[in-house]
Amino acid sequence: LHTATDTLPLLPEPRAAGFLSTRVRLARGESTLQLHAVSSSPIPPPPGSPVQVAAPGRYVLDQLGDGPPAVRKVAEPALDACLGTLRPKDKFVEVIYESSPLWLRCFAVHVVRWGGRRGGTWAALPGLPMQRYTGLDGRNQWMLRMQFPAAQVKRGGTATMVRAGYVEMYFTDGRGEFDSWGEQNYAIGLPGKYEITSGRGCVYIGPSDFDST
C-alpha cells in the first residue's frame, strides 16, 4: 500500500517493449491516485501537473513534449502481474462459493495443474468438504481454505519454491448434483480470496485473511 509521498521505480515492462512500468494498489478508503513522473537524471525536466487515476486498470502516462502529461486507460489490470509484484509472498487460497439454495452440503473437487491442462490427477470424490459461510444477505455460500500448491525445484544446484500453474476445481453437493461451469471448471491461478457464483465464473476480491497482514 502506498502513500501520496511514495516514489516508485519505473522498470522495463516485459509485456510492452520500450515502456517503463510500475504497479500500485490503492489503500482502503482511497478513491483516486495521483501520479507524477520525475527523472533521476542530474538535470530533471520541469515538473508537470500530476494526473489522477480513479479506477483500476492499465494506464499509459504520456509526458512527451512540452504540454501537460496525459493518461489513458488501455486495458483492465493484469491480475497475475499485479499480484506477482505487490504480493509475492502470499500462500493461501480462500474460496467463497455460492451454490443452489437446495444444496445442504458442498464439496470442492480439484486438480493441481503444473503445466498444461492435461497434467495432474483429480482428487477422489466427493472432494474437500466446504464449511458453510455466513454472509450478510443470506445466500447459500460455502468456504474452503487451502495453501496454494508449490514444490521445491532444483535449478543449478539451488532449491527454490515454485508455484503450480493453477488449481482447477468444480463443486458438488455429494448427492449427484455438480457445478462445473458448463464442463469448463473454475480455475484459480494465484493465492487470494475468490468469490465463485454458480455458472458465473471466479472473481478475485482480495488477499486471503491468512495473508492479509
Q: Where do the H-state alpha helices sit in 58-177? A: 79-86
> What is the C-alpha to C-alpha distance for residues 169 and 49, in angstroms, rounded to an integer?
48
- Entry pTM: 0.63
In order, the DSSP letters of 31-58 are: --EEE-----SSSPPPP---EEE-SSSE
Q: What pLDDT sits at residue 164?
A: 81
Cα(first)–Cα(last) distance of the chain, in Å?
A: 12
Q: What pLDDT sits at residue 40?
A: 47
Q: Which of 142, 141, 149 is nearest to 188 (CA)?
A: 149
192 in Cβ contact with 208 (< 8 Å)? yes
> What is the C-alpha to C-alpha distance for residues 189 and 150, in angstroms, rounded to an integer?
12
pLDDT in tens, the chain (213 residues): 334 445 556 666 655 665 666 666 655 555 455 555 544 444 444 455 566 766 667 677 666 555 566 777 766 666 656 666 567 788 899 999 999 999 999 999 999 988 766 678 999 999 999 999 987 677 899 999 999 988 767 777 787 777 788 899 999 999 999 999 988 899 998 899 999 998 778 888 888 988 876
